[in-house]
């Protein structure tokens, strides 16, 4: 196997888990982060105690705060930066890019400054268009613990997909390919909204019938929104869609689920978000998605109900009521398009 030089931007849990897999695979891996104490801790102790406290890291994994050197020395760059800082970091690396460098986004969210996906931010550079999106049911603590995990690399570029599969393939991490970047990325961003809804529902001790209904209606909303913006509805039946939705809507390891659970347990939004200590992308995503749904006339009762609950002091009953009394009547609208009168 050819050895590659890789840089992972970001010191969070998922970026660290990916960097560790690639170092274990024998690739030369540097992980860039702003926090000097975190850099020192990883290099001296082999631990990222803030984000992955129980996961010893490969001794060859090098943490660094020198962004320029990390980018120059790498042929593949994974951008694992929270959405609020993503654009700023990408602007910093742009002068360091060359035409042969591959850029992969692992961030599940939208640019908070405008309705734009992370891969769109990457594509704005004029140097390289070798761009991909990595998404799926990727709870970082499970990956770091060696639990078997599948993920999806989406790109129109064959080389990009093959490179990521080569870098990350391991006995416990399997990467599948997809050409539908738009669908894979929208699935990863949108499901965070519905993880909040499910956490909230779980705190209220709803039944399993209710949970399964919420999740499948969530999938319908996600795919309806994404298809409007050019995604393939079939993408939502795969790991990046249904797979990721199940993982984040049922697991206390999911930050967005925990936010929903805290709110369902009586906390206000600020305390729920603050109590997590990591970024829960779903709250910002919700605002943007509801705004776009209004603009394009898209029917999204769960997102709409959650938005009213979080931002307009609506009662919880209105969220449940919106799902039970709405106008939608087809179960799977893409399978009944000819006769469906709901879109």
Verify whether residue 191 is a known catalytic residue: yes
**Degrees, nearest 5: CA angle 207-208-214:** 95
Burial 144-182 (b: 16+ CB within 10 A, else e): beeeebebbbbbeeeebbebbebbbebeebebbebebbb
Assess contact for 277 and 103: CB atoms under 8 A: no
**Among the options 108, 130, 182, 191, which is catalytic?**
191
Assess contact for 158 and 190: CB atoms under 8 A: no
DSSP track, 24-79? HTT-EEEEE-S-HHHHHHHHHHS-BTTTBTT-PPPTT-EEES-HHHHHHT-SEEEE
Assess contact for 233 and 222: CB atoms under 8 A: no
Q: How far apart are alpha carbons 113 and 141 in whole angstroms? A: 30
Assess contact for 252 and 326: CB atoms under 8 A: no
Q: How far apart are alpha carbons 178 and 69 in whole angstroms? A: 32
Say which residue the tokens 């705060």 belong to.
65
Q: How far apart are alpha carbons 48 and 56 in whole angstroms? A: 8
> CA-based Rg of the chain, rounded to a whole angstrom?
20
Q: Which secondary-structure segment (H or E) carries 105?
A: strand 102-105
Residues annotated as catalytic (active site), given as ranges: 191
């Amino acid at each position: 196997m050819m050895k590659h030089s890789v840089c992972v931007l970001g010191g969070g849990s998922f970026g660290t888990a990916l960097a560790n897999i690639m170092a274990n695979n024998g690739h030369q891996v540097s992980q860039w982060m702003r926090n000097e104490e975190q850099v020192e801790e990883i290099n001296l102790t082999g631990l990222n105690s803030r984000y992955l406290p129980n996961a010893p890291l490969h001794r060859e994994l090098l943490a660094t705060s020198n962004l320029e050197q990390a980018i120059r020395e790498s042929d593949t760059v994974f951008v694992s930066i929270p959405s609020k800082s993503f654009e700023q970091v990408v602007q910093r690396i742009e002068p360091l890019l060359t035409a042969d460098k591959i850029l992969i986004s692992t961030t599940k969210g939208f640019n908070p400054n405008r309705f734009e996906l992370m891969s769109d931010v990457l594509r704005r550079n004029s140097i390289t268009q070798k761009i991909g999106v990595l998404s799926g049911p990727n709870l970082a603590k499970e990956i770091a613990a060696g639990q078997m995990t599948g993920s999806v690399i989406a790109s129109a570029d064959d080389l990009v997909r093959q490179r990521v599969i080569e870098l990350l393939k391991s006995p416990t991490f399997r990467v599948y390919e997809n050409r539908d970047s738009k669908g894979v990325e929208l699935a990863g961003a949108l499901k965070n909204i519905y993880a909040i809804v499910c956490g909230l529902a779980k705190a209220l001790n709803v039944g399993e019938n209710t949970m399964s209904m919420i999740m499948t209606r969530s999938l319908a909303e996600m795919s309806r929104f994404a298809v409007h913006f050019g995604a393939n509805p079939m993408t939502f039946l795969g790991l990046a869609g249904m797979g990721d939705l199940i993982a984040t809507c049922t697991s206390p390891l999911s930050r967005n689920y925990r936010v929903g659970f805290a709110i369902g347990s009586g906390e206000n939004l600020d305390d729920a978000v603050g109590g997590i200590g990591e970024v829960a992308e779903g709250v910002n995503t919700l605002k943007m998605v509801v705004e776009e749904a209004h603009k394009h006339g898209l029917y999204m009762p769960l997102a709409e109900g959650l938005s009213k609950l979080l931002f307009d002091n609506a009662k919880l009953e209105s969220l449940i009521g919106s799902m039970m009394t709405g106008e939608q009547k087809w179960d799977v609208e893409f399978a009944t398009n000819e006769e469906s009168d709901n879109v």
